[in-house]
Structure 1
Amino acid sequence: MTTPAILLFGNANVDLVLGEIDGWPAVGTETMVERSETRPGGSAGNMALALSGIGVPHLFIGSTGDDANGAWLRSQFDPRFCKWIIDGGDTTVTVGIVHRGGDRVFFTTPGHLQAARIADLLKALPPAPHDRAVATIAGGFLMPDIAAGTARLLWELSALGWRTAIDPGWPPSSWDDKTRTIMAQWLGLADYALLNAEEIKGFTGIEPHEHAAAAVAGMLKQSQALVLKMGPEGARAYRGGETFAVQAPEVRVIDTVGAGDTFNAAFLAALVEGADLHAALSSGVETAARAISTFPRRYDAG
C-alpha cells in the first residue's frame, strides 16, 4: 500500500462536550445545559476525522487504552487510515464546557496519553511518498514521553523526506521556562508551526497576538512558516518576511471544539495538493467555519 501524503502523530481521546453556559456556576449547584455530545477528539484525532470528512487519505498513528472507551474510540475512525497502538489502562477522557459565544474550557484525565511512547512512533516511520508530503505532530504537550522525543521525531521525519508541522497545544504545566525551551527547539526544526492566538501569547509572553506572532516569525528560517489561527478573525501565515491573511466568514457558532484541528487538516491537505499559503489558509478557514456551525458536524461543502 502506498503511504498517504499526510501523516499524523499525536493524541486521540474521548470528548464529552457540554453546553452552553454563561459564566461558571457556584460550587455545589447544578446547572442544566441544552445539549451534550460524546465524540472522538484530541488534536490529532480531530485532524484525522476532518481529513476523512473531506475525503483526504492519510495515515494516523495513535494510541488508546485497552478499556471499553478505547474500543469505542478506535471504532469511530476510518480503519483504512489508522494504525493503533493499544496501551494498558484507561483511555484519556476530555470534558469540554462550551460557553455562550463559542469559547470553551477543557478538563482532561491523564489516561493512556501518559503512557504513549516515542519509541513506538520512531519504529513506525515510513518514507515520504513525494516532496509535498507533510507529517504532523499534534497535542505533544499532553504526552510526556512524546514531548521529550519530538525533536528526534522531527529530525527523523525530515531525513525520510517529510515536510513537518507541529501543533503542540497548551502545556498542562502552562508556559514555564521548560516548556518555552522545548517549544523553541521544535520551532527550529518544523517546517510549519500551527499555533492559535492564546498559545502564541503564552509562549512569548507578548500581547497582543499580532506582536507575539511577529516575534515568533522573526525566529524562523526563510523556508519555515508560522500559521496563526485567530478564530473569528481568520488566520495568518508568516514566511520569508511575507504575511498572508484570510478573514473568517460570519457563521452561527454551535461549538468551537476542534476548530483549530479542523483548520490544520484542510490547510495541510491543500498544501499537499500544491496550493500556495494563501489558498491553503482559505481552505483551512472555510472548512473550520463549516465544522463549528453544523450539528452533527460537517466538513465538506456537499
Structure 2
Amino acid sequence: MTAPILVLGNVNVDLVLGPVDGWPAIGTEIEVERAEMRAGGSAGNTALALSGLDEPHLLVASTGDDPNGIWLRGEFDARFSDWIVDPGMTTTTVGIVHTGGDRAFFTTPGHLQRAAPEPLLERIDRAPREGAVAILSGNLLMPRIRNATSRILAELRARGWQTAIDPGWPPQGWTEKFRQTFVEWLGLADHILLNEEEVSGFGGADAILGLLPSASTLVVKRGPEGAVAWRNGEEIRVAAPKVEVIDTVGAGDTFNAAYLARHVAGASLEEALRHGVEVASFAVSTFPRSYGPAQK
C-alpha cells in the first residue's frame, strides 16, 4: 500500500489508570476512577489518530507473538498496517495519570528491545509522491532501531520521503554521546517534533535551530500553551483552546498525526500547527479517546 504518511516506531499495549493525587504509600491499595487497556506507543498513538481522522497512512511496526500481540494488532485498521511479528513477549506500558492530567509511565522491555531495522526497511517502498512524509517516533525505547536511526532516516530520504522524528525523552539522559547522536539525526530530519522538556534537555530551541538547515521545521509542543514552530527564519505560535483535561497520554503523538496530515495536504505551517493543537486538545478532553469535531 502507498500512502502519503508513513508511521514507523514503537507500538505497545497501554494500561492507563487514574487519576491519582500523589503516590500511595508502599504496601497500600487505592481505588482509581478510570482504567483503560488500549493500543499505545508513540507510533501507535499517531497511527490511531490518523485512522480516527480518516487520513490515509501506513503503519509499519512490530509486536510480540503472545496473546497481547494478537490483541494489539487487532486494535489497528488492517488497511493501514503492515506488521512484523516477533517471537516473544509484547511490551506493555502502565500509564499513571495524576490529578491535572500529568502522567508517569512504567514499561516492560518485551518486543521493543528486540525490534530490528532490517525487517522495517524491507517493508518501505519509495514515496508515492513529492511531499510524502515518514515519521519515526519512540525510537529511543528500541535499542536496535535507535542505533540504526541515522541509517533509517538516510534510507527514507533516498527513497523520496520527507522525514520527521519524535524520539521522546532519552532514558539514559542527555549525555554527551547522545547529544552527538541527536545532532546527527537533526541533519537528516525535515520535521523535528519535540516537547518543551525535551528541548530544554538539549539546551533550548536556539541551540537546536543553530544546527538545522533553514528549510527544516522545528516544532515544540507546549501542552496547554499550544505549540510554536520555526522554518526558514519564520516563527509561528498557536495557542491551545481551553479544555477540561482528562488524559494527556499520547497527546503529542496525536498532535503529530494532525500536523502531518495538514502538511501533506499542502497547508501552511500555521494551518498545520493549528490543526495539530486543536485535534490534540480535543483528544485529551475525552475518555475513551475521540478526535471529535476536528475530524475531516
Calculate the TM-score normalised by the size of structure 2. 0.97
How far the C-alpha of 1:177 sits from its partner, in A, is 1.9
Tell whether 2:273 aligns with 1:286: no
For residue 231 of structure 2, the aligned residue among 239, 252, 258 is: 239
Aligned-pair distance for 1:178?
2.3
Secondary structure at 1:137 match in 2: strand
Q: Contact 2:236 / 2:270 at 8 angstroms: preserved in 1?
A: yes
Q: Summarize deviations over 1:1-37 as a string: whole Å, max 9, x none.
A: 5x10000110000000000111112222212111111
Counterpart amino acid of residue 236 in structure 1: V
Identity across aligned pairs (percent)?
61
Equivalent in the alignment of 1:207:
none
Q: 1:217·1:239 contact (CA, 8 Å) conserved in 2?
A: no
Deviation at 1:58, TM superposition (A): 0.4
Distance across 2 between alignment mates of 1:83 and 1:138? 16
Contact 1:8–1:61 (8 Å) recurs in 2 = yes
Match among 185, 191, 213 for residue 221 of structure 1 = 213
Aligned partners of 1:6, 1:55: CA distance in 2, in Å? 12
2:254 pairs with 258, 262, 268, which one? Answer: 262
What is the aligned partner in structure 2 of residue 6 from structure 1? 5
Structure 2: tracts of 5 or more residues without a match: none
- Cα distance, 1:238 vs structure 2: 0.9
Specify the code of the residue in structure 1 equivalent to 2:234: E
Which secondary structure does the structure 2 equivalent of 1:281 belong to? Answer: helix
Contact 1:64/1:85 (<8 A) preserved: yes
Count of aligned pairs: 294
TM-score (norm 1): 0.95
Distance in 1 (alpha carbons) for counterparts of 2:259 and 2:40 = 19
Give the SS at the match of 1:96.
strand
Q: Deviations along 1:232-271, whole A, 9 cap, x unmatched?
A: 0000101122110100000000110000000000000000
> Residue deviations 1:217-236, cap 9 Å, x none?
12111111100000000001
Using the alignment, how far apart are the partners of 2:145 and 2:178 within structure 1? 13
Report the counterpart of residue 196 of structure 2 in structure 1: 197
Query: 1:214 deviation in Å?
Result: 2.1
Q: How does 1:40-119 map to 2 (within 5 A)?
A: 40-119=39-118
Q: Which residue of 2 aligns with 1:142?
A: 141
Counterpart of 2:202, as a letter, is: F
**Alignment-derived partner of residue 250 in structure 1:** 242
Question: Match of 2:36?
Answer: 37
Residues 114-154 of structure 1: per-residue CA shift (max 9 Å, x gap): 01001111222211111110000000000011011110111
The answer for the alignment partner of 2:160 in structure 1 is 161
Q: Which amino acid aligns with 1:65?
A: G
Distance in structure 2 (CA, Å) of the matches to 1:256 and 1:293:
8
**Separation in 2, partners of 1:47, 1:191:** 18
- Residue 300 of structure 1 and its aligned partner are, at CA, apart by 3.5
Correspondences of 1:163-182 after superposition (within 5 Å): 163-182=162-181
**Displacement of 1:183:** 1.2
Counterpart-to-counterpart distance in 2, 1:227 and 1:200:
10
Tell me the residue number matched to 2:126. Answer: 127
Q: In structure 2, give the amino acid aligned to 1:260.
A: G
Q: Which residue number corresponds to residue 264 of structure 2?
A: 272
What is the alpha-carbon distance in structure 1 between the residues aligned to residue 119 and residue 147 of structure 2? Answer: 14
Q: In the TM superposition, what is the alpha-carbon distance from 1:193 to its structure 2 partner?
A: 0.4
Q: Is the 8 A contact 2:247 2:287 kept in 1?
A: no
Q: Secondary structure at the match of 1:113?
A: helix
1:152 corresponds to: 151
Shift of 1:76: 0.2
User: Which moves more between the two structures, 182-191 or 37-46?
Assistant: 182-191
Which AA in structure 1 matches 2:177?
Answer: K
Mapped to 2, the partners of 1:171 and 1:215 lie a distance apart of: 17
Unmatched 5+ residue regions in structure 1? 205-211
Q: CA deviation at 1:174?
A: 2.0
1:297 matches 2:293: no
Letter in 2 for 1:78: D
Task: Report the residue type matching 1:28 in the other structure.
Answer: G
